[in-house]
Chains A and B, each alone.
Chain A
Amino acid sequence: MEKRVVVTGLGIVTSNGGNVDEFTNAIMAGKSGIKHVDWLEEHNFSCQVAGIPDVDTKSNLNMLKNYLLNDSGMNIKYGVTAAMEAWNDAKLEVPDPEGNHVNWDTGAIIGSGMGNIDIFTDKIIPKTDKQKVRKIKTNVAELMMFNAVSANLEWIFALGNIVSANASACSTGTESVIMGAERIRSGKAKRMLVGATEISSPYIWGAFDSMFLLDRRHNHAPEKASRPMSASAGGFVPCAGAGMLVLEDYQLAKKRNAPIYGEIKGYALNSGGQRNGGTMQSPGPEGVKRCIQAALIDAQVTSSYFDFIAGHLSANKADPLEIKNWFDALNRKGADFPYINSLKSLTGHGLGATGSMELVAALLQLKNQFIHPSKNCEDLHPEISKRVDKDKIPQKLIEDINIKNIAKASFGFGDLNSCVILSKF
C-alpha cells in the first residue's frame, strides 16, 4: 500500500526573509526583497536589480562555524541555513557531528539549477591559472561537486538513505520535492529532506541578461521590477537563496506527534520533447497540460478541487501562455478560475531554487489560510484578464480564507515540467 506523504518542516532563505517567520511576515505584507545591486551595475548589466539574501549574520555564521562551513560556498551556506531551520521546525534532533548513529530511513535530495559556480570562480580558477594548483584547499573538491549541499547535510544530520542532487533548470526545486515524496510513497524512505539552492553570480546571471530575459526597465525602482502577469512585464528579476522541506511518511509523523503543514497529495513530472511549441527555452503547451492533468490523476482529484494556484509566472512573455495552459488543463475561467499569485513578484526568480521557495510559500499559505499579494500586476496582461477574473489575482493580502487544496507547478529550460498538489491536513 502506498504511503501518505506529509510536510513536517520548512526552512527558507530569501531576499525578503532569512527564515520562515520573517518570510511569512514579508509575503503577507507584500514586502519585496529586490534591490539595486552595485556589482551588477559595475559589470555593466542591463538588469541592475536582484534579490540577494544575507546569511552572514553573526548567529548564522556561528551555526555554520560549528560545521566548519562558515567559509564554504554560497549554495552550502544557503542550503545548510534553510535545512537546519526545516529540521528544527520538524522537531527533529540535530545529531552529534562526531556521533555514530545513522538515520537509515532518512535521505536528502537537494538540487540546484547552476551549481557551485562561486567555488570555481573564487577558489579554483585563480590558483589554477597562476599555476598554483598545489595551493588549492582540500575542501574545494567537496565544495565544488554538484551534490555539495546534500553531502554536507548528510554529514550534519547523519542521513543514511538516498543522498543526491537533482538539476532540471527552473523546475529543480519542485522536482526535488516530488522525487523525495516518491521515495517515501514507495516505502523506500520514511523521511526526506528536499529542496534546492541557487547562488548569485555575474557569471550565471550574465547569460540571462544577454538573452534579454531580465528586466531592464526598473533599475531606478527595484521593487517594481518583477511584474508577473503584468502587461508591462519586461523580464524576470534574478534572485538567490534556498527553500527546504522535511517530508515524512504520515504514520511516522503521527507517531512522533510532528507538526504537519499539509499533505503532498499528488504530483507529476514530464517534459515536452521540445516539440509542438516547446523549445529549449519555453514550455510547450501540450507537455504542461499533460503534466498538470497527470498530477490531478495521481492525486485522484478533479480540476474543481483547487482553491489556489501557486504559479511559476516569471514576469516574461510566457506568463499569458502559462495562464492559458492552466485554463486549458483545468477547464476553469473567469470567476471560477482558482486564486493565483506569483511569489516572484516579491522575491525575484530563484532559478533552480524557485520551486522549493514557492512550495514553502504555498505551504505557509495553506497552513495559515492566507493568500499573499501578487505585486506589480495592477495592469494585468489582456491575454490573462480575458481568462481570469481580476479578483482571482490578489493585489492585496487575503486573510481568513478557506484554502483546502493548492496546485503548484514549475517549468524549466529544456521544456521540463513539474506539478505538485498540496492538501490541507
Chain B
Amino acid sequence: MDKDKQIQKDILEIIESYALNKSRIKHATTDSKIILDLKLNSARIMDIIMDCEEKYDIEIEDTDIPKIVTINDAIQIIKKYL
C-alpha cells in the first residue's frame, strides 16, 4: 500500500470513531469534505488532528489546521510533518 493510501486508511479509521453514521465513512473518497460530506460535528476536527498527531508522533502547527477541509488535505498536511 502506498503512503497516501495508508494515511487515508488511518485517517478514515480515526474519523469513523467520531461519526454517527459509519456507512458514510466507508463511502468516503479523498475529495470528501470531513465536516460537510461526512456530517461530523465541526468541533471534532480538533480531535481528529490530535489523534493523527498521536498516531504519527507529529505536532501540526496551528496555522495548518484551517487548511484541512478534505481527506486529501489531511493526507498532504500529515505528509508535510513526516
**Interface residues, chain A, CB within 8 Å of chain B?**
66-68, 97-98, 134-135, 137-139
Contacts and interface: CB of A to CB of B under 8 A. Distances in A.
B18 to A, nearest CB: 7
Contacts of A68: 18, 20
Interface string B24-48: 0000000000000001000110110
A66 B19 CA distance: 10
A406 to B, nearest CB: 41
Chain B contact-residue range equals under 10
Contacts of B50: 134-135, 137
Secondary structure call for the B interface: helix
A324 B43 CA distance: 54
19 contacts: A66-B20, A67-B20, A68-B18, A68-B20, A97-B20, A98-B20, A98-B21, A98-B39, A134-B50, A135-B50, A137-B47, A137-B50, A138-B43, A138-B44, A138-B46, A138-B47, A139-B43, A139-B44, A139-B47
Nearest to A142: B43
A2 B32 CA distance: 54
Contacts of B20: 66-68, 97-98
A97 B20 CA distance: 8
Contacts of A66: 20
A247 to B, nearest CB: 29
B58 to A, nearest CB: 13
A278 to B, nearest CB: 45
Nearest to B19: A68
Contacts of A139: 43-44, 47
B24 to A, nearest CB: 10
Contacts of B43: 138-139
A184 B72 CA distance: 51
A21 B74 CA distance: 49
Interface in B1-22: 18, 20-21
B23 to A, nearest CB: 12
A134 B50 CA distance: 9
Shortest 3 CB-CB contacts between residues of A and residues of B = A138-B43, A138-B46, A138-B47
